[in-house]
Amino acid sequence: MVSQITRHNILAVIPAYNEQGAIGQVVTDVLDAVPHADILVIDDGSTDMTAEVARDAGATVVQHPINLGIGGTVQTGLKFARRMGYDYIIRLDGDGQHNAADIPKLLDVVISGEADVAIGSRFLDKKQLEMHIPFVRRIGIRFFATEVGLITRRPATDTTSGFMAMNYRAVQVLANYLPQDYPEVEGRVILHKAGLATAEVQVRMRERVAGVSSIDSWQSIYYSLKVSVAVLMTALKDVPVWVEDMRYASARRAKVNGRSLRSGDIITNDLLDTKAQTA
């Protein structure tokens, strides 16, 4: 598996907001799991030292001048990956809950062609249900899994997971259509409508290393209602079946313009196709 992975250019996209207590270890763990991967941390308008800590750990950092939310932050990473022609993308959160040691398992699924997107699931193993997840959120997760499963006709257990690996086809689709707010659930439907395949892979997730979740119990109720409606609306949208973007194909052939990212690189807006400012 490792030799197969090292033949490809891979970008780890890590959205982060006020994660100075966790982001350094997250970057280190990713480098340990996939040493040859480039790491891009998108600092979504943090008011702490997230950007500095991530850069010191070995990541290249893009800073949003304002907080755009998780959807906009992930889109920044996807648009950069599309422009630079990466073969495969890893997406994981900056709070330390995703176990970087599981990255090779996710990559193996997409590199082998089994699926376009491999999504880390906490719930394929029933023992993971013992994790401390508030009751309201557990109900929401189960409801979303049922809703997505009915729409896509594919089993789904952990539709709010932001831990995944994807190929260039999925990058093209999600860079254009990923919603701004809490995109994980809608993203499953978008990928299905674009004719791309997803697969869930059992992973172990940890408790948050530092900071606090942005969603409390009352927000979970609002979130559940909002996302439920959004998923139904997405199911009615006209998302075209994936077709190769020739600009992206050209960039991929250039193999990231013959170089890799390094900590401290300056990333300009023309590479991102976004208004994000760089560190």
- Can you give the pLDDT at residue 69? 92
The answer for 69, left when phi > 0, alpha when psi is -120 to 50, beta otherwise, is: left
131 has pLDDT over 60: no
- Can you give the pLDDT at residue 1? 47
* 263 is a domain residue: no
* 71 is a domain residue: yes
* 96 is a domain residue: yes
Q: Among positive and negative, which fits the CA dihedral 37, 74, 199, 138?
A: positive
263 has pLDDT over 80: no
* 265 is a domain residue: no
Averaged pLDDT for residues 220-232: 76
* 274 is a domain residue: no
> What are the phi and psi torsion angles at 42 (to 5°)?
-105, 110
192 has pLDDT over 90: yes
Q: What average pLDDT does the chain have?
A: 83
194 has pLDDT over 90: yes
* 249 is a domain residue: yes
Q: Are strands 117-121 and 198-202 parallel, antiparallel or unpaired?
A: parallel
Rounded to two decimals, what is the model's pTM? 0.83
- Whether 38 and 260 have beta carbons less than 8 Å apart is answered as yes
Over the stretch 36-94, which tens digit does the pLDDT of each residue have?
999 999 999 999 999 999 999 999 999 999 999 999 999 999 999 999 999 999 999 99
226 has pLDDT over 60: yes
Cα separation, 160 vs 108, in Å, equals 21
* 132 is a domain residue: yes
274 has pLDDT over 50: no
262 — pLDDT class (breaks 50, 70, 90): low
Range of the domain at 123: 2-253
Over the stretch 244-255, which tens digit does the pLDDT of each residue have?
766 666 666 665
Over the stretch 148-163, which tens digit does the pLDDT of each residue have?
888 988 889 998 899 9
* 266 is a domain residue: no
Collapsing DSSP states into helix, strand and coil, what is residue 81?
helix
What is the domain-level CATH number for residue 140?
Answer: 3.90.550.10
Over the stretch 108-120, which tens digit does the pLDDT of each residue have?
999 999 999 999 9
Q: How many domains does the chain have?
A: 1
